[in-house]
Chains A and B, each alone.
Chain A
């Protein structure tokens, strides 16, 4: 069972507002991923980190999101200006640099 912790579980924001969510990876897992799952169940990779460094990110993340994984603090993903299309389940996963990725419970964002 996954030991990835995500907060908050639910987040409601108005358009244009910032939306911030956090993730505590499983202990000892240096690699963290963020994915977005939309209402059609489609997954989109957003960004991943190894320790504090960004490994990969998509254009949307670079332009509209702020993400970090500081040492000794939760990782975070923040949408700078929420749009209706950002309403989705945001999933954090961590791995021990092996292949298996275990997901946290997710943060369900609703943008009104």
Chain B
């Protein structure tokens, strides 16, 4: 089955700077790549996603890049704020909308004031 690797596992950045999380996947059939943000005691919330027909997507301060050839995708948070501190999970899914999602191991992001 699909394997998703996520790095780094811990990330600390200064408020106002950018944070980047990198993921890679193995299954070339994967064509959907969501990102989830999870705060302590809460459920994961979908914050941005990208499909394989795109290379870049931006929603406000969130930018997702996808390199299908290298099987890599990344999340970039620009102008980080304290509220961005959380666990972030990348994920991959193949082919159809009813396919399971395979998650990365997560990145604990801390924004330093």
List A residues at the B interface (Cβ < 8 Å): 2, 31, 33, 35, 41-43, 45, 48, 50, 55-56, 91, 95-106
Give the interface SS of chain B, mostly helix, strand, loop or mixed.
strand
- A97 with B89: in contact, given A2-B43, A41-B105 (CB under 8 Å)? no
A97 / chain B contacts, CB cutoff of 8 Å: 96-98
The proximity string for B residues 15-52 relative to A, scoring 1 for CB distances below 8 Å and 0 otherwise, is: 00000000000000000101010100011111001010
A97 CA / B89 CA spacing, docked (Å): 22
Q: Are B105 and A42 in contact (CB-based, < 8 A)?
A: yes
Instruction: Write the nearest CB–CB distance from B29 to chain A, whole angstroms.
Output: 14
Q: Are A101 and B43 in contact (CB-based, < 8 A)?
A: no
B105 / chain A contacts, CB cutoff of 8 Å: 41-42
A2 CA / B96 CA spacing, docked (Å): 21
- A99 with B43: in contact, given A33-B100, A41-B105, A41-B106 (CB under 8 Å)? no
**In the complex, how many residue pairs between chain A and chain B have their CB atoms under 8 Å apart?**
55
Q: Which of B88-105 contact A (CB under 8 A)?
A: 89, 93, 96-98, 100-103, 105
Q: Are B34 and A101 in contact (CB-based, < 8 A)?
A: yes
B102 / chain A contacts, CB cutoff of 8 Å: 45
Partner of A43, one of B32, B46, B98, B103: B103
The size bracket of the interface on B is 20 to 34
Q: Are A31 and B106 in contact (CB-based, < 8 A)?
A: no
14 contacts across the A-B interface (CB closer than 8 A) = A2-B45, A42-B103, A43-B101, A45-B101, A45-B102, A56-B100, A95-B98, A96-B97, A97-B96, A99-B34, A99-B49, A101-B46, A101-B101, A103-B43
The 4 closest A-B CB pairs, nearest first, are: A43-B103, A45-B100, A99-B32, A103-B43
Q: Are A31 and B103 in contact (CB-based, < 8 A)?
A: no
B87 within 8 A of A: yes
Q: Are B98 and A103 in contact (CB-based, < 8 A)?
A: no
